A and B are shown apart, each in its own frame.
Chain A
Amino acid sequence: MYKVQKKKPEVDIHSQLKYRFRLNFYDKPPLDDIIIEDFETFALDRLRVLAEIETAFVRNSPWETIKKHTEDQCRKYLELGHTTAKTKDLDRERQKDHISHFVLRLAFCRTEELRRRFVKAETTLFRIRYANEDPQELISFLKSRDFDWVEVSSAEIEQYRDQLDAAGGKGSDTFYKVGLNRDAVVVFPEVIGLHQVKWTRVPDLVEKRKVFLKGGMAYVSSKEQSSIIFQSFQAHLEKALELTAKALPRLDEDTRIVPILDHLSQGFLAGGTSEWNNATSANGDEITADMVDDISRKHFPACMRNLHNALKRDRHMKHFGRLQYGLFLKVLGLSIDEAITFWRRGMSTIQDDKFNKEYKYNIRHSYGLEGKRANYPAKSCQQILMNDQPGSGDSHGCPYRHFSPENLQTALLSMYSSQGLTSADIPEIMQIVKGGHYHVACTRVFEITHAKYGIRKDNGVGDGESVTHPNQYAAKSRELELGATKGAVKKDTDGDVAMS
């Protein structure tokens, strides 16, 4: 039935589009010239979406929540309009989707672990888009591909009528209906009927006994056909990634691309690159050296709390710790004069003379007042997790990653128990840490310690986002407090706080 229909001439209303369909099975790599900037930015945008999907899985969010978060993220970074949306540059959007997918393939084909995670996130993204697809468009998309299924003849349907009904579980009309959209059951004469595939193509349906099996062939009713499509997408991508992995070493390498790919594949570990733009103190209020101690207790993520406590305890701090903490404070809103006061007080074991000669320069340098006068951004979670691993005597790094489990538990309880973290929460957090999802653990702590502002599980630091930057953590935390004092935060809403 499919094959016959494919040959018929079709009225194609969007023939001028290079990418005819919104959904893409990514069979062919993009062949156009790509600007190196696009190469990276497209990939980064897609990575944000995928990282969000993965985070949602790790946090065991229900499917509806995952779907909603992903749709929100897609709208921000990877908009993909329906073919009916005339006002948009559809080709540009679809090209971006296409290119970014293939760049990430290059970045994530390299180890089995990365491939597995990439396939899972991509398949989920595909499922979400599939669910939102316009029924008419979906039909033409499905017709454009051969899914290697066999239409079941009506004679055969009659023969197995009873069994098919029992497998469908909803009476005899099941096979004439197809639910493409989650909410709507629509009758489509073109895609009615039953498909027959090898049972190994639909293991999930077999496991749940949702098909009728005969001689190794599964009879899949149209309402379950999406299962075949998702499985096909996944299998296709898995195979393609393995091929890419084999071909990658033979790539005529361009020195511009490898660093980008390295950078991208790291992004997954840290849960996506941070979009925190280092805009110094968005709220416009200055912080003085005296306030730091108080703010640290209320608003700092664990890494900064740890640095602050270490400074108070040791009255000294090593280079990378000063760098991580100093830049964080700068972005938090500590002016250069206040910063020098703060560090002078903090590093009380150092003689004035030595401080002025050695440390003051460093502080001024990080504010862009010495040397090459660059405005250094504060370190993101990714940088903290991946670069400059702490050695002995260092206090920088990410406690979730760099502390031993026992120390982390004690540290978390001593830091956050005044804000509502109890030892009952610890097992959950430790479990996440054990899985290597440090930013998720940090986000969970944020949710627990900000429950009094109406933050619930899965709210993250707002809009369900997870922590990607210490300053993002601190700023969101301060915003919540500010909102609460002004009475502007709607309690018990979804924790959606608008940026002021």
Chain B
Amino acid sequence: MSSAEELTPELMLAFYRRLYPFKSIFGWLNHELAPTKLFTHREFAFTLAGDVYLRYNSFKDAEDLKKQVLALNPTRFEIGPVYSARPRDKKTVLAINFKPILRELVFDIDMTDYDSIRTCCSDAGICRRCWNFISVAVRVLDQGIRDQYGYKHLLWVYSGRRGIHLWISDKEAMELTDDERKALVGWMTVIQGGKDVHKKVNVRTGLSPLPPSLQLALETLRTTFSEFVLPDQDPFHSTEGWEALLQLIPHAETVKKLRDDWSDAPYSTSEERWDDFKRIIQKQEKGSRLRKTLEYAAEDIAIQYTYPRLDAEVSKHRNHLLKAPFCVHPKTSRVCVPVDPANIERFDPGRVPTVGQLLGELDKAVADASDKEGQDGGEHRSGEYGFYVPCSYI
């Protein structure tokens, strides 16, 4: 679907006036009906046309926020932490009395971090096929966090272009300090190392099985690896592709054998090549050290080609700002809709409504003399895309 639709200020204003669910956002941030510090001491940052950035705004309720949004008509706005004082009073309170105290635990997964393993698109591009990487990331993280940390209030939001955000609103998650966030991210981060590091999965100590958290994820990852990565992404088809694979095999003889075989078979698919490798493993004596080494290497490879790649910096600091749900992505004009992790596979980023479509539908609905109005129209439409109303789960 093309994103050629022009985002005019008028369109944005109409979107904010008629569609944006301020009440839901309020309910989601505030956790209660009457405004609490969770909302009134919360920082909002607006990005206006021409890269003007306004930080430290705060509002007394949903109505107040809406009024300001309509007055400024920002291209997007971001949500920050709850401070110990009202952010709008920042200049008048002492610095020591102005500290971030509460903040949803947030994660950001961006498709650009997958460029080394995806073959269908690169950079800002995203398609149905590479969305599978996001799907597996969502499933692994969602399962892991619920199981290991016991958090329940997870909200997944499509970031509008090529990524996904996770907001965790459990009381305990909100109270985490920066150090604890760093620890949690460390626990979750498996893929490490830059361009010049071949083996990016280093979680074992010597020749030991995977840590329990990863064993839990491994099942999902393995399925994704054999059912999606190998047939669809075909990462080992090209010479560079299989050379990269050989770099990850810690046994010189095996590597040499495979290299000889594969040099003569330029048209083999990734599945065939992977089977070659698996066959070599099977040939090794059961329980031998070599077999174990190769088996573990195979596991690590599957993980490296599927495990979620997190943007760690976003999660580590309480005062990091993150785009609010339901904002419009300025480049694609798509709305950042919440996503249901249970149906993540069926989500298609290409079918997320743009502002223009939503407003058009709304006009049509009004013209049809339907009694649906304002936000109802928006949520009705977005229901198809697995919206769930955020305040309902608090």
Contacts and interface: CB of A to CB of B under 8 A. Distances in A.
Interface stretch (A186-194, A202-210, A356-364): A202-210
B211 A166 contact: yes
A110 B186 CA distance: 33
Interface string B172-213: 100010011011101100000000000000010100111111
B307 to A, nearest CB: 14
B208 A213 contact: no
Contacts of B150: 214-217
Contacts of A175: none
Interface in A96-124: 112
Contacts of B186: 206-209
A206 B212 contact: no
B147 A215 contact: yes
B148 A214 contact: yes
Contacts of A167: 211-212
Contacts of B182: 203, 207
A163 B209 CA distance: 10
A417 interface: no
Contacts of A160: 212
A18 to B, nearest CB: 37
Residues of B contacting A: mostly = helix
Contacts of B187: 206-207, 209, 213
What is the interface residue range for chain B against chain A?
20 to 34
A475 B180 CA distance: 48
B212 A212 contact: yes
With a 10 A CB-CB cut-off, give which of A162, A166, A167, A209 has the most chain B CB atoms: A209
Contact of A203 (B149, B179, B211, B212): B179
A209 B203 contact: yes
A420 interface: no
Given A214-B148, A216-B149, A166 B183 contact: no
A216 B151 CA distance: 8
B68 interface: no
B150 to A, nearest CB: 4
Nearest to A209: B211
A223 to B, nearest CB: 13
B208 A199 contact: no
B212 A163 contact: yes
A209 B216 CA distance: 14
Interface string B131-153: 00000000000000001111100
Interface of A: 112, 160, 162-164, 166-167, 169-170, 199-200, 203-204, 206-209, 212-217
Q: State the 10 A-B residue pairs at the shortest beta-carbon distance, nearest first.
A: A207-B186, A163-B212, A203-B183, A216-B150, A215-B150, A213-B148, A207-B183, A206-B183, A209-B211, A166-B212
Given A199-B149, A203-B183, 15 more contacts: A112-B96, A160-B212, A166-B208, A166-B215, A167-B211, A167-B212, A203-B179, A207-B187, A208-B186, A209-B203, A212-B212, A213-B149, A213-B213, A216-B148, A217-B150
29 contacts: A112-B96, A163-B215, A164-B212, A166-B208, A166-B209, A166-B211, A167-B211, A167-B212, A169-B205, A200-B176, A200-B180, A203-B179, A203-B183, A206-B183, A206-B184, A206-B186, A206-B187, A207-B183, A207-B187, A208-B186, A213-B148, A213-B149, A213-B213, A214-B147, A215-B147, A215-B148, A216-B148, A216-B151, A217-B150
